[in-house]
């Protein structure tokens, strides 16, 4: 019987490990995070490569208002790649290999895998990966946007980054993330209008005022 996801805390960072549970179980665990969690670190081991996820579950991970950092294993395909593409930052080891699952069963990929891969890499790379299933080495994965950072100490760096993000204004991060996701679909004019509207919404909040005060007083901000 599959075990439940493991969610541990490192300060304001939630480290969510899916293990052999389902994606829906992971989403349920993430939705129950306490309000003082400010960032999520999502380890994606190679064992996830043969798993699959629901479209609703992947969309829920992508829509989390918290910053999400994916920690890739040495092999990233299947559900591991799907989840990685839902995260804001993707950190992999220097020997990571990334590939898309080829539709061996006679049906195309589902769950948003095609759309997210095209959005991350562009048409040429995405179609090559989706049709051929060829493995992509670390250097090309970084150049093509499959991973956003490579590190020989990926686990340490991923936690450090998540901790740094957790100290920022949650309202500003959530707004920035929402705008970035919308920019892939909105027109340029609509994107500019959305930015202005979001700025007006966030600027009067307590954390925005704290940021201004900290700048004027030449000290680090203390966001809540």
Chain segment 163-182, per-residue pLDDT in tens:
999 999 999 999 999 999 88
d(CA 195, CA 112): 26
Across 141-162, average pLDDT? 96
Measured distance CA(165)–CA(179) in Å, rounded: 17
Taking only the tens place, the pLDDT of each residue in 211-224 is 888 888 888 888 98
Q: State the Cα–Cα distance between residues 49 and 99, nearest whole angstrom.
A: 10
pLDDT reading at 41 higher than 90: yes
Give the pLDDT confidence score for residue 190 in this predicted structure.
86
Contacts of the segment 154-159: beta carbons below 8 A, 24+ positions apart: 154/71, 154/72, 154/91, 154/92, 154/93, 155/43, 155/71, 157/91, 158/41, 158/69, 158/70, 158/71, 158/91, 159/10, 159/13, 159/15, 159/41
Residue 194: its pLDDT value, please?
87
Q: Is residue 20 pLDDT above 80, yes or no? A: no
Closest among 7, 20, 152 to 74, alpha carbons compared: 152
Model confidence at 50, pLDDT cuts 50, 70, 90, reads low
Sequence ranges of the domains in the chain? 6-166, 170-216
* Distance of alpha carbon 141 from alpha carbon 101, whole angstroms: 15
User: Can you tell me which residue has the tokens 């990334």?
Assistant: 98
- Percent of the chain clearing pLDDT 70 (strictly above): 94
Decide yes or no: CATH 1.10.12 for domain 170-216: yes
Question: DSSP assignment, residue 2?
Answer: P
123 contact partners, CB below 8 Å, separation of at least 6: none
CATH number, span 6-166: 3.90.226.10
Query: Helix 78-86 to helix 55-62 angle, to the nearest 10 degrees?
Result: 40
Dihedral pair phi/psi, residue 54, rounded to 5°? -80, 150
Q: At residue 107, does pLDDT exceed 80?
A: no
pLDDT value at position 2?
Answer: 62
- What is the band of 210 on the pLDDT scale with cuts at 50, 70, 90? confident
Give the E-state strand segments of the chain in sequence order: 6-10, 13-17, 39-44, 68-72, 75-76, 89-93, 97-98, 149-151
- Identify the residue with better confidence: 117 or 188: 117
What pTM was computed for the model?
0.90
In angstroms, the Cα distances linking 17 to 5, 38, 60, 78, 156 are 6, 17, 16, 16, 16
> CATH topology of 6-166 equal to that of 170-216?
no
């Amino acid at each position: 019987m599959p075990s439940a996801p493991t969610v541990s805390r490192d300060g304001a960072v939630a480290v969510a490990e899916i293990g052999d549970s389902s994606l829906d179980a992971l989403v349920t665990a993430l939705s129950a995070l306490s309000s003082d969690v400010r960032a999520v670190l999502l380890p994606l081991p190679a064992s996830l490569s043969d798993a699959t996820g629901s479209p609703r579950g992947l969309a829920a991970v992508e829509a989390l208002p918290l910053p999400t950092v994916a920690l890739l294993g040495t092999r990233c395909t299947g559900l591991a790649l799907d989840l990685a593409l839902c995260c804001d930052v993707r950190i992999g080891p220097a020997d990571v290999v990334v590939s898309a699952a080829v539709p061996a069963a006679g049906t195309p990929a589902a769950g948003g895998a095609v759309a997210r891969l095209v959005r991350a890499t562009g048409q040429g790379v995405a179609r090559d990966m989706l049709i051929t299933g060829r493995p992509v080495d670390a250097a090309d994965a970084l150049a093509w946007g499959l991973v956003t950072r490579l590190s020989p100490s990926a686990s340490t760096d991923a936690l450090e980054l998540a901790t740094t993000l957790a100290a920022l204004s949650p309202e500003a991060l959530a707004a920035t993330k929402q705008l970035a996701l919308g920019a892939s679909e909105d027109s340029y004019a609509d994107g500019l209008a959305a930015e202005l509207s979001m700025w007006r919404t966030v600027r009067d909040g307590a954390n925005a005022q704290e940021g201004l005060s900290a700048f004027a007083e030449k000290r680090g901000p203390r966001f809540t």
